[in-house]
Amino acid sequence: MPIPHNAKKVFQGIIFDVYQWDQPMYDGSTQIFERIKRRPSADVIATVGDSIVVLSQEQPTKPLFPSLPGGGIELGEDPKTAAMRELLEETGYQAESIELYSEENGGGHKIEYINSIFIAKNCTKIAEQHLDAGEKITVGFCSFEEFLQLARNPKFTTARNLIIDMYEALLDETKKENLRKKIFG
């Protein structure tokens, strides 16, 4: 359920805003309810031949972890533009075509945090990496089977629904083939 229209923004931060409102309870009383809105992000499943791009990434408060290309969506930027920008900045790669895989709330019940996942097909290198002051990134490649196993690595950082889809593909051959077709088909 989205944050209701009558909610007040009681704090505006850099990536987190806090909202509160009076919520009617089942017994007729009201309680102040509180929710977070987090700056949305986009991740990219980028293919090069029959491989998928996987980053080894390090950030000032986060030791080495595998991830997909991606990052925060800027204010006023649409998710697809953010996905293409992050892919180019973090890897130097550009896609032949890019399409939405999913757009879901990854924050759970009390946190509104929209994660968009894009599939970027047939990528080629057109530039050098161009990293932020808070990024150290090594670009790597893995097979589809290795990609699915990444879900089982507790350090792998991506949208929650994608991790679940990867586990489901590991449990169910039909789902696996559907995911393979979506990414490479």
Positions in the binding site for a copy of itself (CB under 8 A): 1, 4, 10-11, 13-16, 18, 20, 23-27, 29, 31-34, 36, 38, 60-63, 108-111, 132-136, 152, 154, 157, 160, 164, 167-168, 170-171
Tell me how far, at minimum, the Cβ of 37 lies from a copy of itself, in Å: 11
Nearest-angstrom CA–CA distance, 43 and 93: 14
For a copy of itself, give the closer residue by CB, 75 or 171: 171
For a copy of itself, give the closer residue by CB, 96 or 132: 132
Tell me how far, at minimum, the Cβ of 29 lies from a copy of itself, in Å: 5
Nearest-angstrom CA–CA distance, 124 and 133: 25
For a copy of itself, give the closer residue by CB, 125 or 136: 136
Tell me how far, at minimum, the Cβ of 3 lies from a copy of itself, in Å: 9
Q: Show the DSSP H helices in the chain as ranges.
A: 79-91, 144-150, 160-171, 173-184
Q: Minimal CA–CA distance to 140: which of 58, 57, 73? A: 57
9 and 34 in contact (C-beta within 8 Å)?
A: no
Sequential DSSP letters for 123-154: -EE-S-----TT-EEEEEEE-HHHHHHHTT-T
With a CB cutoff of 8 Å and minimum separation 6, the contacts of 14 are 39
Tell me how far, at minimum, the Cβ of 145 lies from a copy of itself, in Å: 14
Q: Minimal CA–CA distance to 91: which of 52, 127, 142? A: 127
Tell me how far, at minimum, the Cβ of 46 lies from a copy of itself, in Å: 22
For a copy of itself, give the closer residue by CB, 111 or 142: 111
For a copy of itself, give the closer residue by CB, 120 or 165: 165
